[in-house]
Structure 1
Amino acid sequence: MDFSGSHILSIDQFDRSDIEKLFSVADKLEPYATKEKITRVLEGAILGNMFFEPSTRTRISFGASFNLLGGNVREITEVESSSLAKGESLADTAQVLSGYSDIIVMRHPEVNSVKKFAEASRVPVINAGDGSNEHPSQALLDLYTIQKELSQNNKSIDGLRIALVGDLKFGRAVHSLCKILSLYDDVKMNLISPEELKLPIELVESISAKGVTITETENLEDGISEVDIIYVTRVQEERFKNKQDADKYRGLLSLNQSIYTANCEPNTVIMHPLPRDSRSDANELDSDLYENPNLAIFRQADNGIVIRMAIFTLVLDIEEKIDQSSMPVNWKVGLKN
């Protein structure tokens, strides 16, 4: 892929060399992500952060990533606060807002809406989630996390054994992760979900055709044994017709420390794209897992910063310019030691 000036809309755009390039840039950006150094390379640049669905991590981490590169962020956080509520089309909105921004990040509840928006935009657009379809930056940070976690045990993504747990039908992060993992060799996936929330058959067929070995089950204990990674995702309540339909599946596949200890290998890593549903009737990942060193969900969230910084770096073609505006940090970072 030629990243420079490109839209990032789907994991289908990436091959392994593209991922390796992105991860290499991410590694170089680590000192800036952790505020060991600062850069003003994007001073004067404007990110249009357009989120028409609720978001915490994705919205704020995209904005923070742009700020850490020295840029400014302008946000729209709901349809009602934009002219879409007045009947303006996505194409018209794209034409206008791309005149105010150097790059746009967009989340929208409709499948393929971000692609339609990008077709009318005059600047690069990054898909931050389009309905139940895809979430490419989440898949990239998930894969980056998997690589880092596995490397501690001298393992690689080739040969990965992963259990995907929960709402696999509507979970866009899972859909993108399945696509990106299908680029690797000898990957084994255990798909653990209620029958009604199984991974879409067209996606199962697609990744199977690329060599992924798939096992489907509704039994959590069976599915999480003999895997390197457990990737849990919540019931996507907003994709159901009503809350009552979603409630049927809430809490069916909850992981706690006793289940983990009884069924998992000692170094099995636990991941979740967040938010996790911590309400008592769901409790996807029990609080007793906090002391488990293999709970990687917050390391995973932290990786969102450096991966999204790397995306901006490559799309805006600033890789060779970052260190030119490097400066020391002038404030105390973090809590008192």
Structure 2
Amino acid sequence: MSSHLLSVDSLSRDAVDHLMRVAARMEPIAQRRKVTRVLEGAVLGNLFFEASTRTRVSFHAAFCRLGGSVCDTTGFTFSSMAKGESLYDTSRVMSGYCDAIVMRHPEQGSVAEFAKATNVPVINGGDGPGEHPSQALLDLYTIDKEFIRRGKTLAGAHVLLTGDLKYGRTVHSLIKLLSLYAPMRLTLVSPPGLEMPRHLIDLVASRGHRVETRESLASDFADVDVVYTTRIQKERFTAEMSEGFSLSRDYTVDKAFLDGRCSDHTIVMHPLPRDSRADANDLDVDLNGDPRLAIFRQTDNGIPVRMAIFATLLQVEDQVEQDLRDVRWFVPATVGVDDARD
């Protein structure tokens, strides 16, 4: 693994497997059974110049769980970039304050440009429609855990990717990460104009995977192991695309779709946030409480995975297990009211 995590492209299969093993060792800490101070004294710069809840707080919590401290900044308004400061200057300045930096920026390639000015580890928290490597890693970790529960493996799996496949950076990173593994079947379903970029389809196909495109969800998906659906990224639309766009129910993943076209063992994932408004036709809330819905297990898995990323980049992954102690505060048996149904 390189000194930064900017793209899935920088990860080999061995590096991914290593991160998955480290993440598994972080579970007792992430689940609030154990405490470590292995990053005591270290400071994370959490720079988010685009809206975020889960990713920003998850990175913050992961660094704190390792014993570190976090300095946050959100949006352009209260940053020196609003005064015209360059990415290079911001990077160099923040590197003098922080031991690791997570950055989200609305422009594709901006985080890589930022990283050129520093030797401090930089993690891409999302660069416009580009990539989101840590999300892909936690998605893979989730799929693997869900498959273990069901006695399955990635080899030969059938994964359905649906929603905004053009601007959805999470699926760009995930499909590249999945392509590192044994051949599987990938089915792509998206509204017109929001198809997966051709170069990504060609890349995955060149690695021996079967890639199929369908026009809607109105067909049989009984053999699908994972449904990964994404929100329509209207904030990235051009004015021409926005005019008159509406998403029909043909692309909605809901209980009727899962019961009628999938199986009892299909796993449903979403990178969140999902748009729960009635006319959004995103992942439907009628699946709340359904054991096939893995979205909250997915978000929980963000903590051990991001802890593993920090521990590996800062080279303390082999020290964590020698620095554990029991928690001293109350921890509920389950953190969500529906968790017992999982």
Shorter-chain TM-score range: over 0.9
What whole-Å deviation, never above 9, does each CA across 1:66-90 have from its counterpart, x for those lacking one?
0000000001101111100000000
Query: Residue type matched to 2:71 in 1?
Result: R
Which of 86, 89, 94 matches 1:89? 86
Which of 232, 237, 246 matches 2:229? 232
Q: Gaps spanning 5+ residues in structure 2: where?
A: 336-342
Query: Residue in 2 aligned with 1:291?
Result: 289
Answering whether residue 167 of structure 2 is matched by residue 159 of structure 1, we say: no
1:67-216 mapped onto 2 (5 Å cutoff): 67-216=64-213
1:247 to partner: Cα distance: 6.3
1:315 to partner: Cα distance: 0.5
Query: Residue in 1 aligned with 2:279?
Result: 281
**1:294 alignment partner, SS class:** coil
Compare 96-105 and 234-243 and name the one that shifted more.
234-243
Query: Residue in 2 aligned with 1:18?
Result: 15
1:246 to partner: Cα distance: 7.3
Which of 29, 35, 53 matches 1:56? 53
CA distance in 2, matches of 1:301, 1:217: 28
Q: Check whether the contact 1:142–1:177 (CA below 8 A) recurs between aligned residues.
A: yes
CA distance in 2, matches of 1:185, 1:333: 39
Query: Residue type matched to 1:99 in 2?
Result: G
Query: Residue type matched to 1:75 in 2?
Result: D
**1:222 alignment partner, SS class:** coil
Cα pair distance change 1:42/1:243, threshold 3 Å: farther
What whole-Å deviation, never above 9, does each CA across 1:83-123 have from its counterpart, x for those lacking one?
00000000010010010000000000001100000000230
Query: Residue in 2 aligned with 1:32?
Result: 29
Compare 82-91 and 206-215 and name the one that shifted more.
206-215
CA distance in 2, matches of 1:171, 1:322: 34
Query: Residue type matched to 1:19 in 2?
Result: V
Query: Residue type matched to 1:125 in 2?
Result: V
Answering whether residue 321 of structure 2 is matched by residue 323 of structure 1, we say: yes
Query: Residue type matched to 2:226 in 1?
Result: I
Q: Check whether the contact 1:254–1:284 (CA below 8 A) recurs between aligned residues.
A: yes
Cα pair distance change 1:336/1:221, threshold 3 Å: closer
1:150 to partner: Cα distance: 1.1
Q: Check whether the contact 2:220–2:262 (CA below 8 A) recurs between aligned residues.
A: no
| Number of equivalences | 334
Query: Residue type matched to 1:60 in 2?
Result: V
Q: Give the structure-1-normalised TM-score.
A: 0.95
**2:279 alignment partner, SS class:** coil
Identity of aligned residues (%): 50
Q: Check whether the contact 1:42–1:71 (CA below 8 A) recurs between aligned residues.
A: yes
Structural RMSD (CA): 1.7
1:125 to partner: Cα distance: 0.2
Q: Check whether the contact 1:235–1:249 (CA below 8 A) recurs between aligned residues.
A: no
1:320 to partner: Cα distance: 2.2
**1:164 alignment partner, SS class:** strand
Query: Residue type matched to 1:271 in 2?
Result: M
What whole-Å deviation, never above 9, does each CA across 1:134-193 have from its counterpart, x for those lacking one?
000000000000011111221111211010010000000000001001111221111001
Cα pair distance change 1:246/1:112, threshold 3 Å: farther
Q: Check whether the contact 1:25–1:310 (CA below 8 A) recurs between aligned residues.
A: yes
CA distance in 1, matches of 2:331, 2:172: 36
CA distance in 2, matches of 1:247, 1:26: 44
Query: Residue type matched to 1:321 in 2?
Result: Q
Cα pair distance change 1:290/1:62, threshold 3 Å: same
Query: Residue type matched to 1:187 in 2?
Result: M
Query: Residue in 1 aligned with 2:301?
Result: 303
Q: Check whether the contact 1:192–1:223 (CA below 8 A) recurs between aligned residues.
A: no
Cα pair distance change 1:14/1:247, threshold 3 Å: farther
